[in-house]
Structure 1
């Protein structure tokens, strides 16, 4: 964990080294001043030497200025190092997330990843800043003050030593008790972020169903859980303060009482006693800073583990040692394929799939909710790996391809249509960043998107809001189809991606595909029979198995499920539906 975090220092190693050096310089300057103050009292004031007072005073000013610049240097370099570490941690996590397979993404919730990229990294940044500055300054200050105290009076300094050992044991016990609360609190942050994310992304649904009160209640519950956990943690940590203050006051009283007797006995001067009391204050401040450091380390330990999990997570899908980069054609072959989302699943989602699809064919896939239609097509672009059997594209097992090369030849328009903030041109060029304006327009024409784009005030330069909220569902679907076409893929998969367009537009899109991209293998998942009946062949899915595979006419004649749904959608039977079992 620590190795993973510190590996992200990279170009900020030098500021990380200079920060503690500056802090040590500041401590040394601070520790010299009490000695000089004692000398002024003993040699200047009591000795009546004004010149000595002036010379020593000037020396104290010079040392104070040096200490000031050392402190400023520590603050500057510490800020640079901690902010740089935070930047690199976010980049390392984000870069690794981009390599994740769908299985890896399923392991981490979206809200959990957001918490790690924001709250957890901020905790590490603050803790690292404190470690560089306070974790070096506090022990150094305490050690130097202790050494100076022993030089002045070993007898009085032994009081400090006993107090420091006692407080150290108390701090360890208290922090150990508080650790479990700080570890749990960040899991509560995940729940809070999830509540916010769901509410903001689905705000229209919330308002449409007048569920604001429910969402507010859910958010308040998540926020209150964090509050209660922090109260428990802070209530444990705050116990240190009265113990520490009581111990220090006892030290001051003992030193004052013992010091007064020593002054009377002639073994200690007034200036030396004043220096000892000053060092007592330094030790008090150092112990308070150490307690803060322990709190930050305890909080950041949980964050560091969560961040390291994301950085060290290895994608479940990897390129082979000698990958194939050229996809010959769009032929697809499933050979006794089983698939399960989790290795320990009792039942696979897909069971013994055997299909051969010729390059350039248009294949329809139809089936009830939960029949694993999307799971089937997700395997083609290797978003998941098959659990058993073999899946070949262009005559080659998909596991033998370079993943980027394979996915560049398989365009997928998913069920959830996502557009990004930017112009229509910018959104379309996600399919091909080098596409010309003419190519973008041609793809839009094929997807029947050109007709509504021309009616927009700025045409293809119209700005799309985040998530495509300023266009309709059907328009979003057509833009996503156009974006996929710009890749000029060998395989095009439409995963229920024309459900929001009218049947006439759906028919135009299918006709355009047949005429303009005849060599591309087209797989269309749909709920409407009309969307797939003109396909070369149609797959009927039922509970993760192939229930039927053939032309529209063949399935009408031989497949009861297909026939019943066809009749229900054409009005011949009012009761049939995909989700009803025969």
Structure 2
């Protein structure tokens, strides 16, 4: 409830107007049976047509007013609900944009998509219903009971027994349904996850001929969702027969007792008809509570799921950066740095120390899981270390303005990530205000310009989601161009040339020579490491070597084994023979 009130606050005026109009519409609806009673008692029973016309005209007039109030209510209610959901979706997006990797692991992409779509839409629809129907239902029930008592307390006393019994039962249904709908939404997450994996991995599924397996997996998730949804709806809708029994029993009692009282002269026929009208209104509104229960139960589950994302806090937030914005030169130092990912006790980096001079090109090598990518992530402060200090140009990274720090770094991730849009938009992602000349030069240096120029639409070529219509090497080179266009002072390439052939990679590395930046290059290729100023060898989260290729080859058995494994053993044996 707090979440809804917070986001509805800016639109409290239209929401309030919607509620006022609902009350006005409801008030007119409650007055109509009284006017009908007067028409019957004073006009019909006395065969006075003028009285019938008089009250009939008034009833038509105020019914028209109620109709207009309903239209205005829908306008203001929809305005508030749509703006509410827009603001909520925006804040949810901003929250996810600032998520740490810990929270990204906690909330899979498929689950977040469900929250952005199904959950917020459910909250929006329920909020609109709240201003249009939900507020009207309880007020109509209460108002009808009061009006019935004003007309004839002896007949209306039945409402004090049947209505509370019906409402208590409905609240119990609401509680149970909320738990069930939370499970339904979790099943929606599961279906979305299977769909997302299949759409992104279609080529791999076909390559391994796993289509039937994936069909079975989707059918199982879809069937689970369908079964849970069906059972939940059946549970809620099963309340309808019991409610109808209670309300029909109320109507039968009013008809029987009202007839008895009117024959005895204790009640007028018009009053009995009016009370029957109120009973029908109560019956309709109690029945409506079944659908309201469905909506509230689903909305409650959705609110909890959205709120879980908005209130998600990191166990270890980033240390607030200071305001230092002086230009960087690019020297990097790690001093006894240790790091373990949240919720994982094992250290990925363990008291690692090294120094990199401005303008150096460092190749980083090591076996899988030795912390190469983690080392990269600590420099732009995607994480802060658990122990030790990381410095750039002699100052701890925590002293730099975070935006300034990250804009000084060009980062190409291990998995080339492209966005839906044109090639131009993807390259300019690195520098929004870059000129065409800067964009083309970055593409040339990344060895992708010629390929782009040969495309029918050139840089305006639209690429599919995640670059699905491009090869791995093409995606890597566009990602590198995106980093180069900003002319970073520190360039980090996380195995970003793995899909390039030897010639293209050689041209790329040569083009990087003209960039005045410190370059860190994670690679698995000895031939790439040879071209670096020094090679850093990681093992077990520690830097076990940092030296030029030849020196490291002479010092490190691990480096020798890597060279041996890459079919360059002949060169090693030749060197050993020469020694």
Normalised to the residue count of structure 1, the TM-score between the two structures is 0.95
Q: Residues of 2 paired with 1:406 and 1:497: CA distance?
A: 22
1:176 Cα deviation after fit: 2.3
1:471 Cα deviation after fit: 2.4
Partner residue, 1:323 = 323
1:573 Cα deviation after fit: 6.7
Partner residue, 2:533 = 536
Q: Residues of 1 paired with 2:467 and 2:140: CA distance?
A: 58
Cα pair distance change 1:207/1:163, threshold 3 Å: same
Task: Name the SS for the 2:157 alignment partner.
Answer: helix
Partner residue, 1:241 = 240
Q: 1:410–1:492: 8 Å Cα contact kept in structure 2? A: yes
Query: Is 1:554–2:536 an aligned residue pair?
Result: no
1:133 Cα deviation after fit: 1.6
Deviation per CA, 1:64-88: give whole Å up to 9, x if none: 1011111111222111111221111
Partner residue, 2:576 = none
Deviation per CA, 1:487-530: give whole Å up to 9, x if none: 1111000000001110111111111112x11x300001111111
Q: Residues of 2 paired with 1:158 and 1:178: CA distance?
A: 31
Normalised to the residue count of structure 2, the TM-score between the two structures is 0.95
Deviation per CA, 1:424-456: give whole Å up to 9, x if none: 222211111111111111111211112222222
Q: 2:321–2:400: 8 Å Cα contact kept in structure 1? A: no
Task: Name the SS for the 1:9 alignment partner.
Answer: helix
Partner residue, 2:99 = 100
Q: Residues of 1 paired with 2:111 and 2:398: CA distance?
A: 30
Deviation per CA, 1:514-547: give whole Å up to 9, x if none: 2x11x30000111111111121111112232222
- Root-mean-square deviation (CA, aligned residues, Å) is 1.9
1:470 Cα deviation after fit: 2.6
Superposition map of 1:195-214 within 5 A: 195-214=194-213
Partner residue, 2:420 = 421
Q: Residues of 2 paired with 1:4 and 1:401: CA distance?
A: 35
Task: Name the SS for the 1:255 alignment partner.
Answer: helix
1:10 Cα deviation after fit: 4.8
Partner residue, 1:580 = none
Q: 2:258–2:267: 8 Å Cα contact kept in structure 1? A: yes
Partner residue, 2:302 = 303
Q: 2:321–2:398: 8 Å Cα contact kept in structure 1? A: no
Q: Residues of 2 paired with 1:523 and 1:43: CA distance?
A: 95
Q: 1:568–1:575: 8 Å Cα contact kept in structure 2? A: no
Deviation per CA, 1:372-407: give whole Å up to 9, x if none: 211111111111111111111222222222211111
Deviates more, 1:268-277 or 1:291-300: 291-300
1:279 Cα deviation after fit: 0.7
1:327 Cα deviation after fit: 4.5
Partner residue, 1:470 = 469
Partner residue, 1:495 = 494
Cα pair distance change 1:75/1:574, threshold 3 Å: farther
Task: Name the SS for the 1:572 alignment partner.
Answer: helix
Equivalent residues, number: 572
Partner residue, 1:341 = 341
1:282 Cα deviation after fit: 0.3
Q: 1:568–1:574: 8 Å Cα contact kept in structure 2? A: no
Q: 2:331–2:357: 8 Å Cα contact kept in structure 1? A: yes
Q: Residues of 1 paired with 2:136 and 2:526: CA distance?
A: 74
1:458 Cα deviation after fit: 2.8
Q: 1:5–1:308: 8 Å Cα contact kept in structure 2? A: no
1:226 Cα deviation after fit: 1.6
Partner residue, 1:382 = 381
Q: 1:422–1:464: 8 Å Cα contact kept in structure 2? A: yes
Superposition map of 1:498-509 within 5 A: 498-509=497-508
Q: Residues of 1 paired with 2:489 and 2:39: CA distance?
A: 89
Deviation per CA, 1:337-393: give whole Å up to 9, x if none: 111111x43311111111111111000011112222111111111111111111112
Deviation per CA, 1:216-269: give whole Å up to 9, x if none: 211111112222222332232223211111111111111111111111111111
Task: Name the SS for the 2:354 alignment partner.
Answer: strand
Superposition map of 1:115-264 within 5 A: 115-264=114-263
Q: 1:423–1:460: 8 Å Cα contact kept in structure 2? A: yes
Deviation per CA, 1:73-113: give whole Å up to 9, x if none: 12221111112211111111011212223333233211111
